[in-house]
Amino acid sequence: MIHTASLKTLAAQLAQKKISSVELATLFLDRIERYNPTLNAFITVDRDKALAAARQADAQLGAGETAPLLGIPLAHKDIFCTRGLRTTCGSKMLANFVAPYDAHVVERLREAGMVMLGKCNMDEFAMGSSNETSYFGPVKNPWDLTRVPGGSSGGSAAAIAARLVPAATGTDTGGSIRQPAALCGLTGLKPTYGVVSRYGMIAFASSLDQGGPMAASAEDCALLLNAMAGFDARDSTSLERAPEDYTRELERPLDGLKIGLPKEFFGAGMDDGVRAAVEEALAEYRRLGAETIEVSLPNSGLSVPAYYVLAPAEASSNLARYDGVRYGHRAAEYRDLIDMYEKTRAEGFGAEVKRRILIGTYVLSHGYYDAYYLKAQQVRRLIAADFAEAFKQCDVLMGPTTPSAAFRFGEKSADPVAMYLSDIYTIAVNLAGLPGLSIPCGFAGGLPVGLQIIGPWFAEARMLNVAHRYQQATDWHRRLPEEFA
């Protein structure tokens, strides 16, 4: 079935004229039309623009052009600005905002010849772990419609899991690519901080946010990262590095690979089903020639409290721009400028965004900055040092991506701390600026389980190799929810 094919297979089919880009785009657009009312994975779909881009790709293919992603459909998380198409960030504040420019990631993937079908639903301003905070309503997990898909990139994850699109972009501030990838049974990569430009990616926490690819397999993610990565002078945090081919090591054998197992990731709090799936995945790696050793990340337990000081602090600053003056929502009635600010922000932001703005403003306020924000930055340095020490003993780290499989709607929404703890294994990676990857490794209670692979800075090619060799030996990444197969 063509809608379940890998990006490499789709590229071959297009190159051999077995299918056209227009036919491919139409196939996925029809699936979106059929299934999106159930899943709510897309906020905006533009059939006309998608088909126009597909016709352009067909013309290039007809002229003999070749490229790994030319003519293949794609969806963007609705946090990336797209010229001429609304960019909402899942918020009432930007419900009707049409960006006047493209994000760097959008530019790069368009230049690679990919065909954008639409924009995917997400937690409001990327703040959430369940996709329940979106102004446009929650996204449903294709594996069980009563459960969350994870967040904040839940729309992208659900769309790929249901094969409404073969690949999508996501962003990861504390696990927002890896956690939904785990809960929906796909592959998601958060690159090293600075490898993918943040230009045109609406900011949540600027020192943590990172865009990355989401797809069925590690090979697909490698192809996407080849197009997404690259220096951008418009982003002061973008790293000026020589271009890499992230597919170059995919077939490398795993003989001699040293896998570190952080003892802090395997303690209490992990569901038995998740533990069993992860242990079986590690056994498979040992069969493939890898060696596992225990390591320690002694300060990892401080990652959640440190993150929930730093991220809200940066968010409170970044979200100050939404004042009703220049763009976005504006209150209909107000007495004066201050009243307009207050009413606009009260109406435009949801409860979780307001909560984080208040926390962030508090920790940055006079008298509390040293006690909270500065202390959290010091803890962040300790966490990064722990990882650096661990990587002296091993090539990659592995453990669960999430402590449980997908939870039910409403199960954690009334308890913010319980919701925040669903990212307990992913947050430290963002604090350290490291690359992290989640791949499917089994099921617990009929729901997907994710295995997290963490590498040293700039080790994406090696991590993708480690994931790819596992996916050659297993078929978890090819499993589909029955209703959408």
State the average pLDDT over residues 240-266: 97
In terms of Cβ atoms closer than 10 Å to its own Cβ (0-12, 13-18, 19+), residue 262 is: buried
Residue 178's pLDDT is what? 98
Instruction: Give the model confidence (pLDDT) of 334-377 as tens digits.
Output: 999 999 999 999 999 999 999 999 999 999 998 899 999 999 99
Q: Does position 476 have pLDDT exceeding 90, yes or no?
A: yes
- Choice among 20, 21, 77, 156 that is catalytic: 77
Residue 419's pLDDT is what? 87
- Under the banding of pLDDT at 50, 70 and 90, the label for residue 422 is confident
Answer yes or no: 176 catalytic: yes
State the average pLDDT over residues 105-122: 98
HSE at residue 236, side-chain half, CA atoms within 13 A, is 2
State the average pLDDT over residues 410-439: 92
Residue 475's pLDDT is what? 97
Instruction: Give the model confidence (pLDDT) of 8-27 as tens digits.
Output: 999 999 999 999 999 999 99
Element spanning 437, H or E: strand 436-444
Q: Which residues contact 118 (CB under 8 A, 6 or more apart)?
A: 32, 42, 43, 44, 45, 46, 50, 75, 76
Residue 8's pLDDT is what? 96
Q: Does position 301 have pLDDT exceeding 90, yes or no?
A: yes
Residue 261's pLDDT is what? 98
- Under the banding of pLDDT at 50, 70 and 90, the label for residue 184 is very high
Residue among 258, 255, 158, 174 at smallest CA distance from 209: 174
DSSP code string of 106-133: HHHHHHTT-EEEEEE--SGGG--SSS-S
Name the strands in the sheet holding 447-454, side by side, starting at the edge strand that comes first in the sequence: 42-45, 115-120, 73-77, 167-171, 211-215, 187-190, 436-444, 447-454, 396-400, 258-262, 291-295
Pairing of strands 291-295, 115-120: unpaired
Instruction: Give the model confidence (pLDDT) of 441-454 as tens digits.
Output: 999 999 999 999 99
Q: Does position 227 have pLDDT exceeding 90, yes or no?
A: yes
Residue 357's pLDDT is what? 97
- Choice among 129, 130, 152, 422 that is catalytic: 152
- Choice among 20, 129, 134, 176 that is catalytic: 176
- Under the banding of pLDDT at 50, 70 and 90, the label for residue 477 is very high
Q: Are 403 and 267 in contact (CB under 8 A)?
A: no
| CA–CA distances in Å: residue 323 to residues 199, 208, 329, 340 | 21, 24, 8, 8
Answer yes or no: 206 catalytic: no
Specify the 3-state DSSP secondary structure of 355. helix
Specify the 3-state DSSP secondary structure of 214. strand
Q: Does position 268 have pLDDT exceeding 90, yes or no?
A: no
Whole-number percent of the chain with pLDDT over 90: 95
Specify the 3-state DSSP secondary structure of 364. coil
Residue tagged 């669960």 (tokens): 400
Residue 344's pLDDT is what? 97
Q: Does position 201 have pLDDT exceeding 90, yes or no?
A: yes
Element spanning 63, H or E: none
DSSP code string of 11-49: HHHHHTTSS-HHHHHHHHHHHHHHHHHHH--EEEE-HHH
Q: Does position 138 have pLDDT exceeding 90, yes or no?
A: yes
In eight-state DSSP terms, residue 483 is G
| CA–CA distances in Å: residue 7 to residues 31, 181, 188, 215, 359 | 18, 17, 15, 9, 42
Residue 334's pLDDT is what? 96
What's the whole-number average pLDDT of the chain? 97
Residue among 378, 171, 426, 399 at smallest CA distance from 285: 399
Residue tagged 């699109």 (tokens): 165
State the average pLDDT over residues 25-34: 98
Residue 418's pLDDT is what? 83
Q: pTM to 2 decimals?
A: 0.97
Q: Does position 121 have pLDDT exceeding 90, yes or no?
A: yes
Q: Does position 256 have pLDDT exceeding 90, yes or no?
A: yes
Specify the 3-state DSSP secondary structure of 66. coil
State the average pLDDT over residues 170-195: 98
Q: Rounded to an integer, what distance in angstroms lies between the CA atom of residue 191 and that of residue 170?
A: 11
State the average pLDDT over residues 477-482: 96
Q: Rounded to an integer, what distance in angstroms lies between the CA atom of residue 481 and that of residue 245?
A: 32
Whole-number percent of the chain with pLDDT over 70: 100
Residue 414's pLDDT is what? 82
Instruction: Give the model confidence (pLDDT) of 239-248 as tens digits.
Output: 999 999 999 9
Answer yes or no: 343 catalytic: no
**Domains present along the chain, CATH in parentheses:** 2-257+393-484 (3.90.1300.10), 301-378 (no CATH)
